[in-house]
Amino acid sequence: MSPSPPSPLARIRALAPPSAVAAGLIAVLVGVTSSAALVFTAARAAGADARETSSWMLAIGVGIAVTCVGLSLRFRAPVVTAWSTPGAALLATSLSGVSMAQAVGAFVFSAVLMVVSGVTGWFAKAMDRIPVPLASALLAGVLLHFGTNLFAEMNGSFAIAFPVFALYLLARRLLPRYAVLVALGGGVVASVLAGGWHLEKVRLSLAHPVFTAPEFDWKVLVSVGVPLFVVTMASQNMPGVAVLRGSGYEVPISPMMTWIGAVTAVLAPFGAFGLNLAAITAAICTGEEAHPDRAKRYLAAVWSGVFYLCVGLLGATVVSLLAAMPHALIMAVAGVGLLATIEASLAAALSDATAREAAAVTFLATASGVTLLGIGSAFWGLLAGVLTSLVASVGRRRKATAPVPAQAEVSPGTPQRTGA
């Protein structure tokens, strides 16, 4: 007899495992609440009105959904994308006096540069030269403050943060697959009892696309488009690749850059200023909390894309709802959701004794949060680690090739030294 087809319930569970759906939801919660305000600030700096600002959120949400779902299904890996947070910060300070059409021209130009980096493969070649311990240290440094915030929130919001942590530990023992989901549910209950929600901030509104024809002014392209491309590649795409590789997913980089850049270019006239690989939110979807089977963790990224689409369609409504949530709840849930990833990253970073010093430098410099020339600490931490590795390797090569001193006489039975 042929096996009976799976039931509808079994199909739903296969496509929507609770742990994967929860990971996708938490990734969106963290991503939107941590930097959505920057998107609105950047839109206002460009002179956008309420309809245009809503269109920005719609375009970004659609772009993230298309790239998350499409790339994750294509490569069967948890490819999570996001808007460029440093890019939004850059735009918020550099769009003064720039018209919306000129700003859109800069967005298109930056996206085209990303497509070129993907087609030529130069970005992939640069990433191939980064050792795994350094990439893992970079990821650990990026995620460190999320881990420490879990406990820092207990200082002022103990009634919310501690139940999240306690329920996570208990669920890890009894229901490890649903540990983060249990922590999230318990945190919601605890925050409601503590009175931390501000539902008066919620307002209902749908987003509508607003098209702006791009205008290419060379001064704006140089002063806005080029810096937007640089900070997005250095501060977002580089650690994003490190997250995937540190989690064991060898996804081809060049096709990802090409498609993300192409989607950004198409949606730029509607307000998609910059899409890129995610780092922090991607780590939520690549860890074991997302799914016990690493081959199925791509489902978490797919659901992340679905939730981002909802964010885009609802626009300001979702942002206002997230603003009504207690900050401590989001930070605590993000902290427990990233514990396993931080642990695995630190273990991989320190596993190779020859690269341990460079990995430590990468971790410390990245965790420091230093920003130079508008580029975040992820780039500078990686650069510091690479320089440390180069200096250390030169010292090892010199030591290995040093001439062996001649021995005048060796007595019988004395062990001989063959090198330093």
pLDDT class for 403, splitting at 50, 70, 90? low
For residues 337 and 340, what is the distance between their CA atoms, to the nearest angstrom?
7
| Amino acid code (one letter) for 395 | G
DSSP string, 119-146: HH-HHHHHHHTS-HHHHHHHHHHHHHHH
Q: Using the predicted structure, report yes or no on whether residue 397 has a pLDDT greater than 70.
A: no
Name the least confident of 80-84, 203-207, 238-242, 400-404: 400-404
Q: Which two tokens stand for residue 233?
A: 């590649």
Q: Which two tokens stand for residue 367?
A: 């965790």
3-class secondary structure, 196: coil
Q: Using the predicted structure, report yes or no on whether residue 3 has a pLDDT greater than 80.
A: no
- Contact 76/229 with Cβ under 8 angstroms? no
Which residue(s) pair with 83 in the sheet? 275
Q: Report pLDDT for 408.
A: 47
Report in angstroms the alpha-carbon separations of 385 from 153, 162, 342, 356: 31, 35, 18, 10
% of the chain exceeding 70 in pLDDT: 87
pLDDT class for 187, splitting at 50, 70, 90? confident
Mean predicted confidence (pLDDT) in 389-401? 70
Q: Which two tokens stand for residue 371?
A: 């920003």
Tally Cβ neighbours within 10 Å of residue 115: 18
3-class secondary structure, 375: strand
Q: Which residues contact 416 (CB under 8 A, 6 or more apart)?
A: 407, 410
Q: Which residues contact 93 (CB under 8 A, 6 or more apart)?
A: 45
Q: Report pLDDT for 396.
A: 62
Q: Report pLDDT for 398.
A: 59
Q: Which two tokens stand for residue 360?
A: 């430590």
pLDDT class for 414, splitting at 50, 70, 90? very low
Mean predicted confidence (pLDDT) in 27-36? 76
**Span 208-256, pLDDT tens digits:** 899 999 999 888 888 888 878 877 887 788 888 888 888 889 889 999 9
Q: Using the predicted structure, report yes or no on whether residue 4 has a pLDDT greater than 70.
A: no
Mean predicted confidence (pLDDT) in 263-289? 90
Torsion angle of the four alpha carbons 13, 14, 19, 22, in this order, in degrees rounded to the nearest 10: -80
For residues 226 and 162, what is the distance between their CA atoms, to the nearest angstrom?
44
Largest CA distance in the chain: 91
Q: What's this model's pTM, rounded to 2 decimal places?
A: 0.71
Distance of CA 387 to the CA centre of its chain: 24
Q: Using the predicted structure, report yes or no on whether residue 412 has a pLDDT greater than 50.
A: no
Q: Report pLDDT for 263.
A: 96
Q: Using the predicted structure, report yes or no on whether residue 367 has a pLDDT greater than 50.
A: yes
Q: Using the predicted structure, report yes or no on whether residue 407 has a pLDDT greater than 70.
A: no
pLDDT class for 410, splitting at 50, 70, 90? very low
Which residue(s) pair with 275 in the sheet? 83
**Span 293-302, pLDDT tens digits:** 889 999 999 9
pLDDT class for 401, splitting at 50, 70, 90? low
For residues 111 and 102, what is the distance between their CA atoms, to the nearest angstrom?
14
Q: Report pLDDT for 9.
A: 66
Q: Report pLDDT for 387.
A: 92
Q: Using the predicted structure, report yes or no on whether residue 40 has a pLDDT greater than 90.
A: no
Q: In the predicted model, what is the mean pLDDT of the chain?
A: 82
- Contact 332/187 with Cβ under 8 angstroms? yes
Report in angstroms the alpha-carbon separations of 214 from 98, 100, 106, 226, 303: 12, 8, 8, 16, 32
pLDDT class for 54, splitting at 50, 70, 90? confident
Name the least confident of 42-46, 90-94, 249-253: 90-94
Which residue(s) pair with 276 in the sheet? 82
Which residue(s) pair with 375 in the sheet? 372
Quote the crossing angle between the two packed helices 18-45 and 179-194, to the nearest 10°. Answer: 60
Tally Cβ neighbours within 10 Å of residue 361: 23
Q: Using the predicted structure, report yes or no on whether residue 145 has a pLDDT greater than 60.
A: yes
Q: Which residues contact 25 (CB under 8 A, 6 or more apart)?
A: 184, 303, 304, 307
For residues 26 and 330, what is the distance between their CA atoms, to the nearest angstrom?
8
- Find, among 235, 397, 411, 312, the residue nearest to 28 by Cα: 312
For residues 141 and 93, what is the distance between their CA atoms, to the nearest angstrom?
27
Name the least confident of 156-170, 202-216, 382-396, 398-412: 398-412
Tally Cβ neighbours within 10 Å of residue 347: 11
More confidently predicted of 185 and 409? 185
Q: Report pLDDT for 204.
A: 76
More confidently predicted of 166 and 132? 166
